Structures are given as C-alpha cells and as structure tokens.
Amino acid sequence: MASTRFVITLHALSRFVERYAGIGLKVGQIRLVLRAELDRGVPFGGQVGKSTLYLLPCGLVAAVAWNHGRGFVKTVLTRGQAIANMESGAILRFARPVYAVRDTSDAANKAELQVLAERHFHAGIEKKERNAILREHGFDPAGEAGDIYRAAYNALIEAMRGSAA
C-alpha cells in the first residue's frame, strides 16, 4: 500500500524525473516510484524536526517540510547539491511552515490583497519576501490569491510606466 504520510509537490516530482538515473519510467509510474523511494529513505545530514532531508535509495535527497504528521516534499536534490546547500546553510530555507489558506472569494480578502500589493510596491519589497508575507497572512502565492495579488501589483507597475511616459 502506498504511503499517505508524504505529499509530493509538482516541483519535487519534476526534479525527481529530471534527476532520476533509473530506467525510463512511464508517466503513471513516476509518483509511485518516488513514494516507494520516500518510504525507504533515511534522514540525511543530521537535520531533524519540521524540515528534514531524506537520502533515498536511488541516491537522491528529498527536502521534506513536516506539518501535522504529513511530509510535504518540497524538492529532490542530488547528493552533491544537498551537501553544498547544507555547507552554505541554504537548506534551512526549505523549512517554511505550511499555512492555512484563506478564502479568496471574500471581497474583504481581495481588498486586503490589493492593499498588500500597494504597500509592497511602494516599499520596494523583493518577490521572495512578498511571497513570505502573503503566506504569513494566510494567502497562497501560487494559488488564486497569488493571481489577485499579482494583478494588483502589475497594475501598479503599468500605472507607473504610464505616468513616466
């Protein structure tokens, strides 16, 4: 029976396909093979807690963020990439918590996204920090909330370009 304790993101699935050195897999087999690898993986690099690296039997390393007993597989790295990231301290960035996502059909939430976009635009905040702030407010930057936010942010950019012309 397949494990239900791991949730595999599309990014992780893509990186696994890209880096897996096994024989060619059919589309329907990829997720099953990765789940089997995760079930047999062992913690790697001494990092335990909310974010853990797992050395998979195939030699790849999975970065997993834990939340309420479920492991969200964020990416799959080569062993060399994982070691380089650990040496630089960058692997800690995989430990972002998983936030509850707010409903974007609510007009107040849409208005809040527009206000956040305006604040971030005028403050000159970089994209990664803007996404982190959205998550802290309970909005998913990769979902509908991100679409609403980006539309408001891009409208401000266009308005600025229009007034500069």
Q: In terms of domains, do 57 and 135 share one?
A: no
Q: In terms of domains, do 78 and 44 share one?
A: yes
pLDDT for position 89: 59
pLDDT for position 28: 76
Q: In terms of domains, do 111 and 145 share one?
A: yes
Confidence grade of residue 151 (pLDDT, cut at 50, 70, 90): very high
- CATH number, residue 32: 3.30.2310
Task: Name the domain count of the chain.
Answer: 2
pLDDT for position 154: 92
Q: Tokens for 10?
A: 């599309």
Q: In terms of domains, do 117 and 153 share one?
A: yes
Q: In terms of domains, do 72 and 123 share one?
A: no
The whole-model pTM stands at: 0.50
Q: In terms of domains, do 116 and 138 share one?
A: yes
| Residue at 67 is within a domain | yes
pLDDT for position 23: 61
Full DSSP string of 10-68: HHHHHHHHHH--SS---HHHHHHHHHHHHHH-EEETT--SSEEEEE-TTS-EEEEEEET
Q: Which residues contact 136 (CB under 8 A, 6 or more apart)?
A: 99
Q: In terms of domains, do 87 and 113 share one?
A: no
Q: In terms of domains, do 90 and 130 share one?
A: no
Top pLDDT among 60 and 96 is at 60
Report how far residue 33's alpha carbon sits from residue 29's, in angstroms, rounded to the nearest whole number. 6
Q: What is the mean pLDDT of the segment spanning 151-158?
A: 92
Q: In terms of domains, do 17 and 78 share one?
A: yes
| Residue at 11 is within a domain | yes
Which of 75, 95, 115 terminates a domain? The answer is: 95
Domain boundaries, position 18: 6-95
Q: In terms of domains, do 20 and 89 share one?
A: yes
Tens digit of pLDDT for each residue in 65-81?
Answer: 888 778 889 999 988 88
Check pLDDT > 80 for residue 111: yes
